């Protein structure tokens, strides 16, 4: 396992620190659609994403969802090991959006080393700040942006990730990403179709005019 791909300062850690972290590490595969970590689970451990794509979301007591951020190859997931930091008082769920391979590191061992190692503690700071920034961006989107712009931005982002203008995605799944009821998504997609921005068929949204969608989104 190549830890320096995830921890740029890996070589600067002390020998015993590296050995302790390596000793706890194991690889695990998650099928597309499976749950890697559930909100109120015990500490699953740090996840180092080797390949695939993970969606982090929060949900209401009634099961409504909104996507907080995504993790891609080479990302490190701290929130699956939130027991590392006492002041984290929220729960998120992590789901594999594609077949995903992760390395799992023990939260206990990581925490113990972080308490002594300024390198690891500062790295953890930067990790958390990145996710915090993602969530602040989301608040600004929810508060100040109209739904047509948010939906357009989501379709463009999906299209970039999938490297395709044909998206296999249901209106309900889009609603779960954006925290909106399915009917609201359907209504806006129909409006986009009327405007010749997309074409719709069962389980598929095709971007017909990505350029205009991009202009609408930003």
- What residues make contact with its own copies under the rule CB under 8 A? 58, 60-62, 64, 66, 68, 85-90, 114-118, 121-122, 124-133, 135-140, 142-144, 179
Q: Which one, 86 or 201, has the nearer CB to its own copies?
A: 86
The least CB distance from residue 169 to its own copies, in Å, is 21
Q: Which one, 92 or 197, has the nearer CB to its own copies?
A: 92
Q: Which one, 120 or 205, has the nearer CB to its own copies?
A: 120
The least CB distance from residue 204 to its own copies, in Å, is 27
The least CB distance from residue 199 to its own copies, in Å, is 30
Q: What size, in residues, is the chain?
A: 218
Q: Which one, 92 or 207, has the nearer CB to its own copies?
A: 92
The least CB distance from residue 158 to its own copies, in Å, is 21
Q: Which one, 26 or 137, has the nearer CB to its own copies?
A: 137
The least CB distance from residue 176 to its own copies, in Å, is 12
């Amino acid at each position: 396992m190549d830890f320096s791909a995830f921890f740029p300062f890996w070589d600067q850690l002390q020998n015993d620190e590296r050995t302790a972290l390596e000793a706890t590490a194991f690889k695990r595969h998650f099928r597309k659609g499976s749950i890697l970590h559930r909100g109120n689970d015990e500490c699953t451990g740090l996840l180092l994403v080797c390949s695939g794509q993970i969606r982090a979301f929060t949900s209401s007591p009634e099961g409504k969802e909104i996507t907080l951020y995504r993790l891609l190859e080479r990302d490190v997931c701290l929130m699956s090991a939130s027991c590392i930091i006492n002041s984290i008082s929220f729960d998120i769920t992590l789901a594999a959006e594609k077949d995903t391979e992760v390395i799992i590191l023990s939260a206990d061992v990581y925490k113990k080393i972080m308490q002594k190692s300024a390198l690891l503690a500062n790295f953890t700071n930067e990790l958390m700040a990145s996710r915090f920034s993602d969530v602040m961006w989301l608040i600004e989107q929810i508060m100040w942006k109209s739904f047509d712009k948010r939906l357009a931005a989501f379709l463009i982002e999906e299209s970039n990730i999938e490297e395709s203008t044909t998206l296999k995605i249901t209106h309900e799944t889009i609603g779960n990403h954006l925290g909106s009821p399915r009917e609201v998504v359907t209504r806006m997609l129909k409006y986009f179709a009327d405007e010749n921005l997309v074409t719709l068929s069962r389980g598929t949204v095709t971007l017909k005019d990505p350029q205009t969608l991009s202009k609408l989104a930003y």
